[in-house]
Amino acid sequence: MSSTAADEHLDELLEPQTETSNKALSRAFVLDSNSEWVVVATGVTVTELSEDGHVLTASLHDEVDTNTILFSTSFHKDQDIVRQQATVVTWTSADGSDVALSFENEEGLDHFWYRESLWD
């Protein structure tokens, strides 16, 4: 699958989840070696900005046991994070993997995007 086809396929895969509670849920995807988006985790999104303001960590926690981290990634200030849609962000991780977060609603992504904007 070409990168353009993968981008078009991403639109289909990353439709927002149905809101089932007041928690900000999201799904994490990774683009595999066949250029297909694979779900790696679904959970409650928690973001944390480092004290020096240079690193933002996004973690997906289990909905029931919020101490259980299902997926975690960190973004550095100089890293490109692209807002794809009202509820989707994508980036290339430090190891070269293409990653996406699909939030259940715009408010969840807006909160993430606000935290990311604190770098400016």
The structural domains of the chain, ordered by start, are: 3-117 (2.30.29.30)
Considering only residues 38 and 75, tell me which one the structure prediction assigns the higher pLDDT. Answer: 38
Predicted model pTM = 0.72
Distance CA 53, CA 85 (A): 25
Give start and end residues of each alpha helix (H) in 14-119: 106-117
DSSP letter at 28? E
Query: Considering the chain, what is the average pLDDT of its residues?
Result: 78
**Residue 92, pLDDT score:** 87
* CA 56, 62, 67, 69 torsion-angle sign: negative
Tokens describing residue 119: 């770098």
Q: What is the pLDDT of residue 30?
A: 94
- What is the predicted pLDDT for the residue at 33? 93
